[in-house]
Chain A
Amino acid sequence: MEQKVTAASIEKKSLIGQRVKKPDAPDKATGKTRYINDMVLPQMLIGKVLFAGRPHAKIVSMDISAAERLPGVYAVLTGKDAAGLKFGFVRDNVPLKEKVLCEHDEVAAVAAETEEIALNALSLIKVEYEDLPGVFSPEVGREASAPQLRDNFPDNKSLRFEFKHGDLAAAEAASDFIADDVFRPHHVTHCCMGTSCAIADFDNNGKLTIWTQTQYPYNYKMDLAPALGITPGDIRVMQPPVGGAFGSKLDVYPYEPIAALLARKTGRPVKVIYSREDEFRASPTRQAAIIHMRTGCKRDGTLTFRTADVLLDNGAYTSWGPTIPVIMMRTTSGHYRVPVVDFKAQAIYTNNPYAGSFRGYGNVQTTYATAQQMDILADKLDMDPLAFHLKNAQKSGEITPQKSFLRECVLAECLETAAQATDYSRKRAAYAAERDKPGRYKKGIGLASSIHNAGGAKIHKSDGIGTILKVDDYARVTVITGASEIGQGIDAVINLIVSEELGVPLEHVTIVNNDSDIAPWDVGVHASRTTFIAGNGTRQAARKAKAQILKAAEKMLGEPADTLELRGGSVVRDRCGTPLIKLDRLLRQMHFQAVPELVMVTDYYEPNSEPEGADHISDHSAAYSHAVHIAEITVDTLTGEIKVDKITSAQDVGRVINRMGLEAQTEGGIAIGLGYALSENMQLEQGILRNPSFRDYKLVTAPEMPELEMHFIESNCAEGPYGAKGVSELPTIVIAPAIANALFNATGVRIFNPPLSPEKVARAIYEKQQSGK
């Protein structure tokens, strides 16, 4: 067939590493986006939950009759209606409780015509409690004298993890210096701008449709089903736009089965939505821990061993929080070259709120310890921390004691880049020399690094993703993917990759990823995995489509497929870019030919990682990455206020895919890290949250964001899409220890229990001065 060549040649222009905007940004910026919180279904009722408001109690009696009689109330449920509906990581939770184990225990729920009626109904429920002595710290909880919170968990012991490698006694004997400290990372919570919300609706065949904020729609079915006594196959998960998740939606929490139970009882859709106060009280937290860490080294700076004895505050129920040792031990054994490791962690049930997963997943807590001990040891050695870090930095090809294979490792380059950009070594020495001189304001500089999985984490049997890709008669591409979008920007990445592979404009790509009846399997948004996993899946699917298209082009144009390319919406000659036929025209010709052909491909991508086994010795991620962040601060030694002047980061990102998304993930990660380091703190008193509002729970606000300088180091990951690695957790992980190290540099005080609040800093400096040290 002869083609008229009309257009000039089309140059090859790669989008990889360019700045691409999020497709939902204009709608979000203009208020057009309909979040789940905005959704209204016909006949929908509003569900409200009655929280116990006390940490540990027996429910002596409950009278719901007045609430049931209130006009406009359609259902009132109590623990009796949920008996036996056990769910959760170790099946220790039920949607509604018959016994109170923490402040936010859900003891009753109401569905009513309006929120006002539902709230009135709650106030009419009479509960008589008998308060019981509680357990509010894991140290107390593990004592024999402590109240036993659960029959089948002696000494309140929940999950336990261990990992040992090498001869500890010999390593200790060979050490010239040992850092030995106890760190106490605290309770914080995610503070999603969209509060928790679920809408549930059963059809008459018993199939549940649930609109939720979940970030793991497929395993979510498996986890939700037992809370309702139905099978996972009877659940359809819908994912409307959400106002944040950050790990908080990686499990089923009671309000979701409560919405479903109310829907089943009333036969109508029921929406449960939290107020901000509910959100503070009833959302998962970041896991609080007590970390006794020891790190040894020789006089020349070579690390000899690291031990961690970790006690976790399990809270009242077991969600993802107490499973963080899986990552804590990777950091303990893999943050720098540590030949000998001894890690153990024990979670203890308490009557505190319980933890879920939260950006950084255990690594925020562990790095707070490891990265400070690197600084502490450097001081003992009287060595520049940079030199100390470099001496122990792994190189490409090294394998950690847990068998993490660091195939492409650019830790040294990250260290050198960040240090050079900040003039770190000189400033650190100069500030240290200033610190005991008079003067109210002191400057400090602190370096912290960490390691994190950057190619998924195979903690399930599969860490893969399914992708379906179709190209229609107008060359519009639809990607049906398991990858959830919770604000992190996989939408822009998928558009970019499809555009890169198929040569269609970014705006010609549509993503369908919000209906579990349509989109195929994916593990979920966690472990910094989505760009890595879904990026690979999308690329593979797009390449299959491309191969099909070019094969058809070969037949029609009579030119070999391997000399053709897709560019600028056309099929072109790869070498010179001469356009041969418009892509949409070719697609129509494929469709309407004698033997019709549509472009619809499927793909399943499974990373080449190994499952995390019981012994924790496996290459559980397809890639690992490092970040080095340097914080420069000014401390008001009288008020204790820390002003962060600048954060400089150098991170191994493998390869930049969407530069704008990467910058945003880094900035957002740093903001969360700053809040954790400086001001965010759930003030728990005997299990009761004292600051359930943004007035007294202090997020970092825009004016406090310091200057940021980001360096993206490209290590070109062999397994990653175009060489990319996962990026989004590391910036959160390294901030607090970088600031803590800077605080020490400025003032000589070190704070082991974050946040580094003005009061804590002022007090530590005051006490240091009083003791004349």
Chain B
Amino acid sequence: MQDIKTYMTPCSVGEAVKAMAAGGVTAFCGGTDLSPQVESGARQYTATLMNIRRIEGMGGIAEQGDSIRIGALTTVTEIRRDPLIAKVAPILAEAAEHFASDQIRNAASVGGNICNASPAGDMINPLLVLDAEVELARWQDGAVATRRVAMADFFLAPRKTVKRDDELLTAIVFKRPAADFVGYFRKSGPRPALEISTVSVGIGGRMSNGVFRDVRVAMGSVAPTPLRARNVEAALEGKPLNADTIRAAVAATSADAKPIDDVRASAWYREHLVKVFTEEVLNHVLGN
């Protein structure tokens, strides 16, 4: 087991990323992914363990102009209970509702969920539907430099993202959805608590005069990364939502979802569930 040589609790983003620039830093937020992974031997701590939870300005949910900004430290419980989220992006609150258990939700951060980059990450799916971007900070030329990356481009492979090792994820930002935006999230699992998604499907878009536009479809646990289902989106975009388009969208799922067999489910069952959920969520949209 790797020995942790230094433990630090930076108070500012600058302090944190400056330390990260030197390398060998493990950022520790809620620890709900990190601790079990280290415990099971799947990964190791590096020489410096950095508790990022006390960094100022990295928490909270706020409106900034026409955008919503969620600090990376925001817990799943905070998202679940936030009045602004409930109003502008209920799809995110819905996903938080089906996330782990109270104990885990109180510790788990949205930033950690994204950086862990599991195809089953439940915060990722609705954020893809909201077309969110992540804000990444690092130490460059003696100052904090930030860049933004679209969530849809962020994930490379299981546990691999475009985030550099010396970068901190500071926030998630998305445009305030239009008034006619509707979105729903569905994850599988009969257990009301503590269920890792076998499959998740999130669908959102603007519904006006029976026509579905700006459609965004996200799927979890059907590929090595969480993904935007572009074929399903194409089957729906700009079309009137009815039984025929729903049937076409369901058929299109097989072009997007490429699941595998694992201990949680077979590929067959995942493909089947993606179809069931796609139909269910679209019927929900239609019903509204």
Q: Are B272 and A758 closer than 8 Å at their CB atoms?
A: no
In chain B, residues 255-269, which have Cβ atoms closer than 8 Å to a Cβ of chain A? Answer: 263-266, 268-269
Q: Are A642 and B190 closer than 8 Å at their CB atoms?
A: yes
In chain A, residues 107-148, which have Cβ atoms closer than 8 Å to a Cβ of chain B? Answer: 116, 120
| A691 proximal to B (CB < 8 A) | yes
CA distance A638 to B250 in the complex (A): 14
- Count, chain B residues at interface, CB 8 A: 19
CA distance A758 to B195 in the complex (A): 13
Q: Are A698 and B191 closer than 8 Å at their CB atoms?
A: yes
A120, A696, A703: the one contacting B193 at CB < 8 Å is A703
Contact flags A693-734 to B (C-beta < 8 A → 1, else 0)? 001101001011000000000000000000000000000000
Kindly provide the distance from the CB of A454 to the nearest chain B CB, expressed in whole angstroms: 33
In chain B, residues 177-227, which have Cβ atoms closer than 8 Å to a Cβ of chain A? Answer: 188, 190-194, 196
| A766 proximal to B (CB < 8 A) | yes
Which residue of chain B has the shortest Cβ distance to A759 in the bound complex? B269
CA distance A678 to B191 in the complex (A): 11
Q: Which residues of A contact B263 (CB under 8 A)?
A: 683, 690-691, 696
In chain A, residues 732-773, which have Cβ atoms closer than 8 Å to a Cβ of chain B? Answer: 758-759, 762-763, 766
Q: Which residues of A contact B269 (CB under 8 A)?
A: 758-759, 762-763
Q: Which residues of A contact B264 (CB under 8 A)?
A: 696
In chain B, residues 237-273, which have Cβ atoms closer than 8 Å to a Cβ of chain A? Answer: 263-266, 268-269, 272-273
CA distance A47 to B22 in the complex (A): 40
CA distance A641 to B269 in the complex (A): 12
| B103 proximal to A (CB < 8 A) | no
Q: Which residues of B contact A120 (CB under 8 A)?
A: 1
Which residue of chain B has the shortest Cβ distance to A694 in the bound complex? B194
Contact flags B33-54 to A (C-beta < 8 A → 1, else 0)? 0000000100000000000000
> Among A116, A120, A639, A758, which residue has the most Cβ atoms of chain B within 10 A?
A639
Q: Are B276 and A639 closer than 8 Å at their CB atoms?
A: yes
Q: Which residues of A contact B193 (CB under 8 A)?
A: 701, 703
Q: Are B188 and A701 closer than 8 Å at their CB atoms?
A: no
B190, B192, B196, B280: the one contacting A758 at CB < 8 Å is B190
Q: Are B190 and A759 closer than 8 Å at their CB atoms?
A: no
A277, A638, A763: the one contacting B40 at CB < 8 Å is A277
Which residue of chain A has the shortest Cβ distance to B40 in the bound complex? A277
Q: Which residues of B contact A641 (CB under 8 A)?
A: 190
Kindly provide the distance from the CB of B37 to the nearest chain A CB, expressed in whole angstroms: 12
Kindly provide the distance from the CB of A383 to the nearest chain B CB, expressed in whole angstroms: 33
Q: Are B194 and A762 closer than 8 Å at their CB atoms?
A: no
Kindly provide the distance from the CB of B152 to the nearest chain A CB, expressed in whole angstroms: 27
CA distance A679 to B273 in the complex (A): 18
Q: Are A766 and B190 closer than 8 Å at their CB atoms?
A: no
Q: Are B190 and A763 closer than 8 Å at their CB atoms?
A: no
Q: Which residues of A contact B188 (CB under 8 A)?
A: 639, 758
| A544 proximal to B (CB < 8 A) | no
| A643 proximal to B (CB < 8 A) | yes
CA distance A696 to B36 in the complex (A): 14
Do most interface residues of chain A lie in helix, strand or loop, or is the interface mixed?
mixed
Kindly provide the distance from the CB of B145 to the nearest chain A CB, expressed in whole angstroms: 38
Q: Are B266 and A703 closer than 8 Å at their CB atoms?
A: no
Kindly provide the distance from the CB of B198 to the nearest chain A CB, expressed in whole angstroms: 8
Q: Are B265 and A704 closer than 8 Å at their CB atoms?
A: no
Which residue of chain A has the shortest Cβ distance to B190 in the bound complex? A641
Q: Which residues of B contact A639 (CB under 8 A)?
A: 188, 190, 273, 276
Q: Which residues of B contact A695 (CB under 8 A)?
A: 194, 196
B194, B196, B266: the one contacting A759 at CB < 8 Å is B266
Q: Which residues of B contact A704 (CB under 8 A)?
A: 190-192
Which residue of chain B has the shortest Cβ distance to A758 in the bound complex? B190
Q: Which residues of A contact B276 (CB under 8 A)?
A: 638-639
CA distance A267 to B145 in the complex (A): 62
B190, B273, B280: the one contacting A643 at CB < 8 Å is B190
Kindly provide the distance from the CB of B180 to the nearest chain A CB, expressed in whole angstroms: 28
Kindly provide the distance from the CB of A585 to the nearest chain B CB, expressed in whole angstroms: 55
Kindly provide the distance from the CB of A190 to the nearest chain B CB, expressed in whole angstroms: 20
Q: Which residues of B contact A763 (CB under 8 A)?
A: 268-269, 272
Kindly provide the distance from the CB of A280 to the nearest chain B CB, expressed in whole angstroms: 12
Kindly provide the distance from the CB of B185 to the nearest chain A CB, expressed in whole angstroms: 15
Kindly provide the distance from the CB of B230 to the nearest chain A CB, expressed in whole angstroms: 25
CA distance A691 to B264 in the complex (A): 9
CA distance A235 to B193 in the complex (A): 45
Which residue of chain A has the shortest Cβ distance to B264 in the bound complex? A696
In chain A, residues 629-680, which have Cβ atoms closer than 8 Å to a Cβ of chain B? Answer: 638-639, 641-643, 678-679
Q: Which residues of A contact B268 (CB under 8 A)?
A: 763
In chain A, residues 253-281, which have Cβ atoms closer than 8 Å to a Cβ of chain B? Answer: 277
Q: Which residues of B contact A766 (CB under 8 A)?
A: 272
Q: Which residues of B contact A691 (CB under 8 A)?
A: 263
Q: Which residues of B contact A277 (CB under 8 A)?
A: 40
Which residue of chain B has the shortest Cβ distance to A703 in the bound complex? B192
Contact flags B91-129 to A (C-beta < 8 A → 1, else 0)? 000000000000000000000000000000000000000
Kindly provide the distance from the CB of B201 to the nearest chain A CB, expressed in whole angstroms: 12
> Among B190, B266, B276, B280, which residue has the most Cβ atoms of chain A within 10 A?
B190
Q: Which residues of B contact A762 (CB under 8 A)?
A: 269, 272-273
Kindly provide the distance from the CB of B192 to the nearest chain A CB, expressed in whole angstroms: 4
Kindly provide the distance from the CB of B189 to the nearest chain A CB, expressed in whole angstroms: 8
Which residue of chain B has the shortest Cβ distance to A683 in the bound complex? B263
CA distance A573 to B144 in the complex (A): 91
> Among A696, A759, A763, which residue has the most Cβ atoms of chain B within 10 A?
A759
CA distance A277 to B268 in the complex (A): 29
> Among A120, A638, A679, A763, which residue has the most Cβ atoms of chain B within 10 A?
A638
Q: Which residues of B contact A696 (CB under 8 A)?
A: 196, 263-264
Kindly provide the distance from the CB of A196 to the nearest chain B CB, expressed in whole angstroms: 19
CA distance A378 to B273 in the complex (A): 34
Kindly provide the distance from the CB of B103 to the nearest chain A CB, expressed in whole angstroms: 13
Which residue of chain A has the shortest Cβ distance to B194 in the bound complex? A701
CA distance A22 to B193 in the complex (A): 29
CA distance A686 to B273 in the complex (A): 28
Which residue of chain B has the shortest Cβ distance to A120 in the bound complex? B1
Which residue of chain A has the shortest Cβ distance to B276 in the bound complex? A638
CA distance A158 to B279 in the complex (A): 52
Q: Are A701 and B272 closer than 8 Å at their CB atoms?
A: no
CA distance A589 to B192 in the complex (A): 63
Q: Which residues of B contact A638 (CB under 8 A)?
A: 276, 280
Kindly provide the distance from the CB of A441 to the nearest chain B CB, expressed in whole angstroms: 12
Q: Which residues of A contact B273 (CB under 8 A)?
A: 639, 762
CA distance A641 to B263 in the complex (A): 17
Q: Which residues of A contact B196 (CB under 8 A)?
A: 695-696
Kindly provide the distance from the CB of B261 to the nearest chain A CB, expressed in whole angstroms: 11
CA distance A175 to B273 in the complex (A): 44
Q: Which residues of B contact A116 (CB under 8 A)?
A: 1
Kindly provide the distance from the CB of B74 to the nearest chain A CB, expressed in whole angstroms: 24
CA distance A309 to B190 in the complex (A): 35
Q: Which residues of B contact A759 (CB under 8 A)?
A: 265-266, 269
Kindly provide the distance from the CB of B215 to the nearest chain A CB, expressed in whole angstroms: 23
Kindly provide the distance from the CB of B207 to the nearest chain A CB, expressed in whole angstroms: 23
Kindly provide the distance from the CB of B277 to the nearest chain A CB, expressed in whole angstroms: 8
CA distance A284 to B273 in the complex (A): 34
Q: Which residues of A contact B190 (CB under 8 A)?
A: 639, 641-643, 678-679, 704, 758
CA distance A9 to B123 in the complex (A): 70
A residues contacting B by CB (< 8 A) are 116, 120, 277, 638-639, 641-643, 678-679, 683, 690-691, 695-696, 698, 701, 703-704, 758-759, 762-763, 766
Q: List 8 A-B contacts (CB under 8 A).
A: A639-B276, A696-B196, A758-B188, A759-B265, A759-B266, A762-B273, A763-B269, A763-B272
3 closest A-B pairs by CB:
A759-B269, A641-B190, A638-B276
Not counting A277-B40, A638-B276, A695-B194, a sample of 5 additional A-B residue pairs whose C-beta atoms are within 8 angstroms of each other reads: A639-B188, A642-B190, A679-B190, A701-B191, A704-B190
